[in-house]
Chain A
Amino acid sequence: MKTARALLALALLAAAPTPAAPTSVAAPSFDDLVARAESVVVARVVSVTSSWVPSRSGRAIVTDVIFAIDRTLKGPTYVQRSLEFLGGTVGDDTLHVWGMPTFHVGDRDVLFVSDTGRPASPLVGFMYGRFRVVRDTRTDIDMVRTHDGRPLGGLDEVGNAQPPARVAPARPLTLDDFVRAVDAKVRLLERGK
């Protein structure tokens, strides 16, 4: 029985479409996210403020998002952290940058941060370095979702356009599962240094 299921799994995997990359941003894998992030945190949005800033060619709108850090998984430990994102609304004017993650007070996220050199998005892979934390009201357990709100069935789905073929439906990842996986990967990277 085990052999038959393994063969079926292999067949499904072989039939799965080749993973595609995003048009505007190459989606990083889970390992890439952890490796490329200077900091990985579980955080809660406490304020969102947009303002005009001078830019090289005139002026632009940026949005400063202040996060309360609930847990640090990689990098220096902060109580609060401010991250700057290109785009936002000030008065009648809106600068919308396609694909830029947007935040609201109260949002909870796992963030893979890489903001050296003042990038337009301080997250690894633009929007892909954001994972939403959503409380399952039936079980009262925190679950992890992708930046666009899709449930995450496994780490192998990170960076894949198509969910990998599975014999049985995957159990959506909990925040605890995800944090454990990040912790393990960080420890592995530190041992390799």
Chain B
Amino acid sequence: MRRRALVAAFLLATASAASAYVLLSDPWPDGTVALELQLGGAPVLTDGSTSWGESAESALAAWNAVMARLQFRVVRDSTAAKGDGNGVNNVLFANDIYGMAFGSGVLAVTTNWARRTRRVEADVIFNAALTWDSYGGTLRRGVQDFHRVALHEFGHVVGLDHPDENGQTVPAVMNSRISNIDRLQQDDIAGAQALYGAPDIVPPTPTPAPTPAPPPTPGPTVSFPPRNESLDFRVQLEAKYRDGLRRSASPTYVDMEGDIVWTQEYARYRVNLCSHADAGSRVMTAIDSGATPPVCGSAPVGTAQFPPRDEPLAFRTALEAKYRDGLKRTATSSSVDLEGDVVWIQEYLRYRVNGCGHAVAAQNVFAQVDGFAAPPTCR
């Protein structure tokens, strides 16, 4: 093994405690990396995932939400060839590592192939001999949390090493030791963004039209619930995560009211035909100025379209940064992780704009949190 590969492969990005992440020196080229999910079926898991693949997708979405120049693309139930050094990024359960034994106590292994200084392949292999579930919060003895381990292993695929094995002391999913941390921490995010940049929420670039466009046909915009009802749902969600799912609290700079108000505003702009960047920009303008920018159009009645979950998650991550760095808010805490926050708020709003009252919408969401299939909307 060359010294270059053994030692110089790792770069200490910075010595500051706030940015203690450690990076592999061979990054992916900017763009999209396809991961072939070959994890097989599973009964409904504790966190409501209906398959290992769904839990893995959720972990990948968490990384996607914080990176600009690299995005993972999921190939569900892939039938691609499983092998090392074949240029295919396999994610699978197996009893060995392509013919070599895991050894006792090994939960999962991530391999990275690099040619010269460019990454060309990464495989994540979970030890099929162990007992797995997908759950958040406190670790359970004898049952491995697939989602938490997947978040960690995908962090290696991103290119992050263990900060705690490189002289750093920071809370991080990427620490070599598992803990009750079950979501990305600031140091994890900073490490990913040091490699691939942060997703920006930028004002839309005005594009001059060569000829005047016809005025849009006026129509009603999709209405959203009053603030007190949404806030009541958010309070119930906090209790559900804290008391029902027994999730531990993690720091957040966005208080509960700010969370529901601005996440709902983002969704309102999206449903009313604003792009992700445009919606994010308008919300930030509203926070800064107190004014309410107009929506971008009128969605046809009955077809309110909500964005894919990685986009509101990216917005919510940016909102966290806005409160921390822009508004200089002090940290509070929440038992609801960012992903659960945006997924379930959006789901509540989806029921509300599709004819359900507050109580029914909340009830439908909590049924899903408990692992039941999504009830139909009320139209």
Residues of A within 8 A of B24 (CB): 96
**B161 located at the interface, meaning its Cβ lies under 8 Å from any Cβ of chain A in the complex:** yes
Select which of B6, B176, B179 is within 8 A of A99 by beta carbon.
B176
Taking the closest CB of chain B, its distance from the CB of A50, in whole angstroms, is: 5
Asked if residues A95 and B112 are in contact (CB atoms below 8 Å), the reply is yes
Residues of B within 8 A of A178 (CB): none
Q: Secondary structure at chain A's binding surface: helix, strand, loop or mixed?
A: loop
Task: With CB as the reference atom, state the residue of chain A lying closest to B9.
Answer: A96
Within 8 A of A (CB), among B140-162: 148-149, 152-153, 156, 161-162
Select which of B3, B113, B156 is within 8 A of A94 by beta carbon.
B113
Asked if residues B1 and A63 are in contact (CB atoms below 8 Å), the reply is yes
Asked if residues A59 and B85 are in contact (CB atoms below 8 Å), the reply is yes
Chain A 56-91 per-residue mask, 1 if CB under 8 angstroms from chain B, else 0: 111111010000000000000000000001111100
Asked if residues A93 and B6 are in contact (CB atoms below 8 Å), the reply is no
Residues of A within 8 A of B66 (CB): none
Asked if residues B107 and A57 are in contact (CB atoms below 8 Å), the reply is no
Within 8 A of A (CB), among B1-15: 1-7, 9
Within 8 A of B (CB), among A1-48: 20-28, 36, 48
Interface residues on A, range: 35 or more
Cα-based distance from A161 to B139 in the complex (angstroms): 15
Asked if residues A119 and B152 are in contact (CB atoms below 8 Å), the reply is no
Select which of A58, A85, A114, A161 is within 8 A of B85 by beta carbon.
A58
Cα-based distance from A27 to B162 in the complex (angstroms): 15
List the one stretch of B92-100, B199-207, B255-263 in contact with chain A.
Answer: B92-100
Residues of A within 8 A of B173 (CB): 23
Task: With CB as the reference atom, state the residue of chain A lying closest to B104.
Answer: A36
Asked if residues A121 and B114 are in contact (CB atoms below 8 Å), the reply is no
Select which of A21, A85, A103, A117 is within 8 A of B178 by beta carbon.
A21
Instruction: Assess A89 versus B86: contact at CB under 8 Å? Given A22-B177, A25-B106.
Output: no
Taking the closest CB of chain A, its distance from the CB of B174, in whole angstroms, is: 8
Taking the closest CB of chain A, its distance from the CB of B241, in whole angstroms, is: 21
Instruction: Assess A121 versus B103: contact at CB under 8 Å? Given A55-B84, A60-B85, A161-B177.
Output: yes
Residues of B within 8 A of A125 (CB): 103-105
**A124 located at the interface, meaning its Cβ lies under 8 Å from any Cβ of chain B in the complex:** yes
Taking the closest CB of chain A, its distance from the CB of B314, in whole angstroms, is: 25
Instruction: Assess A102 versus B85: contact at CB under 8 Å? Given A23-B176, A26-B105, A126-B103.
Output: no
Chain A 99-122 per-residue mask, 1 if CB under 8 angstroms from chain B, else 0: 100111000000000100111110
**A97 located at the interface, meaning its Cβ lies under 8 Å from any Cβ of chain B in the complex:** yes
Cα-based distance from A60 to B96 in the complex (angstroms): 14
Taking the closest CB of chain B, its distance from the CB of A31, in whole angstroms, is: 14
A interface, CB within 8 angstroms of B: 20-28, 36, 48, 50, 55-61, 63, 85-89, 92-99, 102-104, 114, 117-121, 123-126, 148, 161
Q: Add 10 more A-B contacts to A55-B100, A104-B6, A120-B106 (CB < 8 A).
A: A21-B178, A23-B108, A92-B116, A95-B111, A96-B5, A96-B24, A97-B110, A114-B104, A125-B103, A126-B105
A-B contact pairs, 27 of them (CB 8 A): A21-B139, A21-B178, A23-B177, A24-B107, A24-B153, A26-B105, A28-B105, A50-B2, A55-B83, A55-B85, A57-B82, A57-B99, A59-B84, A60-B85, A86-B100, A88-B1, A88-B2, A93-B113, A94-B9, A96-B112, A96-B113, A98-B153, A98-B156, A99-B109, A119-B101, A123-B103, A125-B104
